[in-house]
Amino acid sequence: MKNDYTGGGVKISIPPTVLFTVMGFVPDVSRVVTSDFKQPGDLVYVLGVTRAELGASELASELGFTSPDVPQVEALSARRAYKTLHAAMRQGLVTACHDCSDGGLAVALAEMAIGGRLGASLDLTAAPAPVSLSELELLYAESQSRLVVTIAPEHQAAFEELFTGQPLGLLGAVTEKPVLILGRNGQQLCAEDVEGLVRAFRPHSTGNVFPGRRPSGGGPPGFSARRRAARTITESPAFGGQSVSPRGESPLSAHLDKFVQTNI
In DSSP terms, 190 is beta-bridged to 182
| Residue 29 CB-density burial (10 A; 0-12 exposed, 13-18 middle, 19+ buried) | exposed
CB 246 within 8 A of CB 62: no
User: What sign has the CA pseudo-torsion 155, 161, 163, 168?
Assistant: positive
Which pLDDT value is given to residue 15?
Answer: 86
Q: Return the domain boundaries, the chain.
A: 29-255
Using the 8-state DSSP alphabet, how is residue 29 labeled? G
Taking the C-alpha atoms of residue 117 and residue 43, their distance in angstroms, rounded to an integer, is 16
CB 245 within 8 A of CB 139: no
Which pLDDT value is given to residue 84?
Answer: 98
Which pLDDT value is given to residue 255?
Answer: 41
Which residues have a Cβ under 8 Å from the Cβ of 93 and sit 6 or more positions away? Answer: 151, 152, 155, 158, 159, 162
Q: Residues, the chain, total?
A: 264
Which pLDDT value is given to residue 16?
Answer: 82
Topology (CATH) of 29-255: Phosphoribosyl-aminoimidazole Synthetase; Chain A, domain 2 (3.90.650)
In DSSP terms, 181 is beta-bridged to 121, 191
Q: Which residues of the chain, if any, have pLDDT below 70?
A: 1-2, 203-264
Which residues have a Cβ under 8 Å from the Cβ of 3 and sit 6 or more positions away? Answer: 13, 14, 15, 16, 17
Which pLDDT value is given to residue 259?
Answer: 40
